[in-house]
Amino acid sequence: MSDAAPEAAGEWQRLDPRYLRMAKDVAMVRVVIWGVLTGLVAALVWWIATPGTSGTWIVVGVWLLQMIGVGIVWFRRLALWYRHSAWRLDGQFLELRTGVWWRTETRVPRSRIQHTDVGQGPIERRHGLGHLVVYTAGTHHGTVELRGLAHEVALMLRDKLLEGDARAPV
Amino acid sequence: MHAHPSEHRLHPIALVLFVGGQLKEVVFLLLTALIGSGGDLFSSLAGVAFFGGLVGLLVVAPAVSRLLTFRYRVGDDELVIRWGWLARKERHIPFGRIQSLDARARVLHRLFGTVEVIIETGGGDEAEGRIAAIPMADFEAMRGRVLEGRRAPALRDAPPVDAGAATMLAELGPRDLLLTGLILNRGMVLVGAAVAIVYELGLGDRITERLLGPAVAERGFFLTVLDLSRGALHPTASELVVGVAMLVGFVMVVRLLSMVFTIVRYHDHRLEQIGGDLRVSCGLLTRSTSTTPIRRIQSLTVREGPWHRLAGRVTVQVATAGGVQFEESAPSRETLAPLLRVAELPRVLEVALDGLAVPREEWRPAARPAARRQLMRSALWWMVPVAVAWWWGVPAGTVATLLMLGSAVAAQRRVRQFRWAAFDGGVAIRTGWLFRRTTIARHDRIQLAVVEESPFDRRHGMAEVAVDTAGSEAPALQFTWLLRSDAVHLARGIDAALARTEFRL
């Protein structure tokens, strides 16, 4: 993927690769917290049951196995999610594809956008990322969120979406 | 702020309404004061003075202040209301922003020829303006000015219409009213309230004993049902007959209550077209009139159940932008016609949808794999409950199996009845089997279309499309059971129309 103006020609764009790195950080933190919590539970089980040496190995083994399983699921999920997410700015529309199993394809027409937000959380800021939120007057899909953009791209998208919208008096 | 020459005050009757409203809020406090004194609050002059002072302070003073400080004025292009004594407020509501201008007349209002005016602009959850009581004639004048003022800048291209001329689209006569009660079955609202009161008063057990006999009362109603389902209780034939008769009796009582309910709510229901607005008025005791600009209608839904079909009627509802919830007792503006003759439907649709109609040949059925998928789904869904029910007891197992079969049949029927249409100017969808609903949305009212795909959809080459409007109380139009190619085509068609049209709230 080139760094050239991503809005050009309305081609499908992947999320910023830095998002993958940021999501890995987040997943790592989660896995550590999960590991500590389940470790405590395992220790509690071991303490109550006071098993022999083989029993101790079983408790440790079960804990290790579930940690490996959880880790694989969490880290793979990110990569999968990243691979299945894409966006593009296609003339009148901002288009989004998300979801691995349950997929959605959202096209937000420029003529229906009420306002937009660009946000940046603390972890996002560390990675130079940001997110764009587009609001329509719709009741059920009124808020469309695009995460995992470079902050500059989010700002650029916002400007593009509101461009030529000076007509709107509201 | 200076007094404006064209400013109006409220009708004095508003004082009574304010006091009533205020009483509702502090009634608990007053009761505590009264009970806390052990009832001898009135034994001394000081007590009477204290209680009177309390009422005056909490109830009468705020009401008087509101009555005296409230002013409203109908300007050239805006409505101005101001109120408050220490903290003053002045609110300007431009005509162009007024979503609806409704009148409601409680019994007290009607005795004095006044109405309460409710002004909504479509933003927020609450009405932007409320004018507690003004003479009917003043309201009519205000409505005329607002209608005129709104027309001038916004609808210059629209053909001029005589604001005064009303065309009756539908009305409910006395017979229709009873039929409405029978069909809409709103009686459970009253039954629910009655049951809550009965149990609140601790009369539940006594009533159970009266109705169902001491044996049931001793065991408790739910335990009895549980035992019956397990096959542990063997009711005699006469007990069964009595049980069934009571069930039938209950249903009939509920329907009768429903008639009472609809008579109070929908008495003299009229749906009229006045220029670019639809006006609904109804009510036996509290009479309400609500006016909705046709261009504010986001989508329209026609509902019909088995009883509707038997009587050749339908219910017509619309979704408007701006989520304003009326109090429970007032009919929602969203119901254009609680019960409409099928023959009158085309004209109402023509008016409410501004000439948009679904061409007959555009209705398309569900995708072929849908029926089998639904069958599989209900089988999987019911497998465990049915097994558990058989393990629990024969009666429960039988009932669960019957329910499973019923759900399978219903699923098949729903798929067979499902229709969708994409046509010039809008989209439409028809769902349900016994209770059907047809929803139509104009392209220029649609916000966006989302294509959704579950793993099961992918297995069958299908997809769903969710179409969103700004209609507040309506669900999104969910086009389930489409082939993927059709779904994409539908979404792209909507997109193209959205790019062409402009949305104005």
Three-state DSSP at B18 gives helix
Residues 282-341 (B) with a CB less than 8 A from some CB of A: 321
Question: Of A4 and B265, which is predicted with more confidence?
Answer: B265
Alpha-carbon distance A114 to nearest alpha carbon in chain B (angstroms): 10
Q: B472 pLDDT exceeds 80?
A: no
CB B17 within 8 A of CB B132: yes
Whole-number percent of chain A with pLDDT over 70: 91
Which residues from A are below 8 Å from B479, CB to CB?
A: none
Q: Is A87 left (phi over 0), alpha (psi -120 to 50) or beta?
A: beta
Mean pLDDT of all residues belonging to chain A:
86
Residue pLDDT, tens place only, B266-306: 999 999 998 888 889 888 888 888 888 888 888 999 999 99
CB B10, CB B132: distance < 8 Å:
yes
What Cα–Cα distance (Å) separates residue B374 from each residue in B409, B416, B477?
10, 11, 20
Chain A: residues touching B (Cβ < 8 Å):
91-93, 99, 101-112, 136-142, 144
Q: How far apart are CA B13 and CA A164, in angstroms?
A: 53
**pLDDT at position B406, please?**
93
Min Cα–Cα distance to chain B from A116, Å = 15
Distance from CA of A162 to the nearest CA of B (A): 15
Task: Say if the Cβ atoms of A111 and B505 lie within 8 Å.
Answer: no
**H-type alpha helices, B135-220:** 136-154, 174-184, 187-200, 204-212, 214-219
Please report the number of interchain residue pairs, chain A to chain B, with beta-carbon separation below 8 angstroms. 80
Taking only Cα atoms into account, the Rg of chain B, rounded to an integer number of angstroms, comes to 28
B206-221 pLDDT tens trace: 777 777 777 777 777 7
CB contact (8 A) between residue A104 and residue B468: no
What are residue B303's phi and psi, to 5 degrees? -110, 145
CA distance B10 to B64: 11
List of chain B residues whose C-beta atoms are within 8 Å of the C-beta of residue A101: 454-455
Residue B368: the pLDDT is 92
Cβ contact B498–A102 (<8 Å)? no
What ipTM does this complex have?
0.80
- What is the spatial distance between Cα A44 and Cα A50, in angstroms, rounded to a whole number? 10
Q: Is the pLDDT of residue B152 over 60?
A: no
Whether residue B502 lies within 8 A of chain A, CB to CB, comes out as yes
Q: Report whether pLDDT(B328) > 50.
A: no
Q: Does B171 touch chain A (CB under 8 A)?
A: no
Position B334 pLDDT exceeds 80: no
Mutant choice from A107, A134, A135, A143 vs B, greatest count of B C-beta within 10 A: A107
The two structure tokens encoding residue B45: 């002059």
Nearest to A139 among B452, B471, B495 (CB): B471
Residue B155, amino acid: L
Q: Please, what sign has the CA dihedral across residues B101, B105, B108, B114?
A: positive
Q: Do B452 and A142 touch (CB under 8 A)?
A: no
> CB–CB of B78/B95 below 8 Å?
yes
pLDDT single digits (tens) B219-245: 777 788 888 888 777 878 888 888 889
